[in-house]
Amino acid sequence: MVGIDTINNVKFHLITRFFHVLSGGFHITKGDYSMSNNNGFLPSGFDLDQRVSSFLKLEEGTHVIVIMPANEVDEGNSVSGWQWWTEDDSGRHPHRALEKDGVPEEETGKQFLAFKVWNKTHHDKTGEFLFQLSELTQKTIMKAIAGLVDDPDWGDPVMSYPIQIVRKGTDLNTEYTVTPKPKESLPEGLQEAFDGWHCDLTQMYDGGDPFSVSELPF
């Protein structure tokens, strides 16, 4: 007989997944939720769809990424500025400005650095290419990546060496460790898959959706 604790754990997991789906901006993939059909209820080979955010979310654990090019940006392969949030009846909304003086006086802005990434951790687990937008506000991570760019032993990370980011702890006890990984050959099909993914970083300043464009402006 299934115990009460087991039932409650299952309920909690399903509720957590439900609210995770509600947060929006997802790419559908399959993999970790493959189920057997021992009881005859589920169809053969049934996989429960997982939804992965279009933004890289640095949850607790290890994340390995490769920074990808952003040809729509005039200089470099990233954009930076200042971010703040507002809230109304429809929820919370991000706002961004190129300069700090673009942040309203009544708001507290955070500096951000945004760039495109290939989620190597996801690929290693599923074999699927997942590209995401990384919008960093953590000064520890931004400083570490800037240090790698300035280091002649590493240099420009775009489609070059993987970067490992490890998050430990939560809230005020959160710590991040950034480590460059040895360069390796990029997998076949990566460039083709990336060419089919649309993300325009320049839309971030105008309150637009960087994923809404059908073709990038170049």
Q: Is 92 helix (H, G, I), strand (E, B) or coil?
A: strand
Task: Note the pLDDT of residue 209.
Answer: 87
Alpha helices in 32-160 (DSSP H): 120-126, 139-150
Task: Note the pLDDT of residue 46.
Answer: 64
If the chain, 218 residues long, is cut into consecutive pieces of 10 residues, what is the mean pLDDT of each piece?
48 42 39 51 66 91 98 96 93 92 92 98 97 97 98 98 97 96 96 97 87 59
Domain residue ranges of the chain, discontinuous segments joined by +: 1-35+47-53, 56-79+112-206
**Stated pTM of the model:** 0.75
Task: Note the pLDDT of residue 47.
Answer: 65
Q: Is the four-CA dihedral 185, 58, 10, 42 of positive or negative sign?
A: negative
Task: Note the pLDDT of residue 27.
Answer: 41
DSSP summary character for residue 55: B
Task: Note the pLDDT of residue 19.
Answer: 38
Task: Note the pLDDT of residue 26.
Answer: 39
Task: Note the pLDDT of residue 40.
Answer: 67
- Please choose, from the candidates 4, 56, 50, 58, the residue with its C-alpha nearest in 3D space to the C-alpha of residue 28: 50
- 2-27 pLDDT, tens digit per residue, is 455 544 444 444 444 433 433 334 34
Task: Note the pLDDT of residue 207.
Answer: 76
Provide CB contacts within 8 A for 159, sequence distance 6+: 66, 67, 68, 69, 186
- 102-126 pLDDT, tens digit per residue, is 999 999 999 999 999 999 999 999 9
